[in-house]
Structure 1
Amino acid sequence: MSYEVYGPYLPAVMIITFIGLFIWVLLPGNRKRFEDASQLPFADEDESPASEDSASADMTNNGRNER
């Protein structure tokens, strides 16, 4: 089977996939999940900062442990 067989159906599959994803994103039940996911980049700001001793130790070895 080659492109000549499946080629004419690819645009239809792409359109159906796009419409399906579009509907899935707009479903009201997914709103809370997407709002939580949108805040993930900011989640680590609530954690307390590491002590300066451990931060300076991490800077000296660039995250590599000597063996």
Structure 2
Amino acid sequence: MNYEVYGPYMPVIMMVVFFALFAWVLHPKNKSKYDDAANMPLNEPDDEPGNEASNGRIEK
């Protein structure tokens, strides 16, 4: 197969894939998963020993 055979259909295929991904991302059942991922950087680290956040400085 070469471009002349499947080339004219590529924009249609790409548009269908785009809209399918768009619908998948905006589906309501995925909202909690994406909200959790969005809030990950804002979560506090646990207060367990050995989980201290290090800023690269050595305390004297």
TM-score (norm 2): 0.67
Superimposed CA distance per residue, residues 35-61 of structure 1 (whole angstroms, 9 cap, x where no aligned partner)? 111123334xx22324x7xx64xxxxx
- Residue identity (%): 41
Number of matched residues?
A: 52
Superimposed CA distance per residue, residues 2-34 of structure 1 (whole angstroms, 9 cap, x where no aligned partner)? 111110110011110011011111111000001
Which amino acid in structure 1 is aligned with residue 30 of structure 2? N
User: Is residue 48 of structure 2 the alignment partner of residue 49 of structure 1?
Assistant: no
Correspondence for 1:10? 10
Task: Structure 2: give runs of 5+ residues left out of the alignment.
Answer: 46-51
Higher helix share: 1
RMSD across aligned positions (CA): 2.1
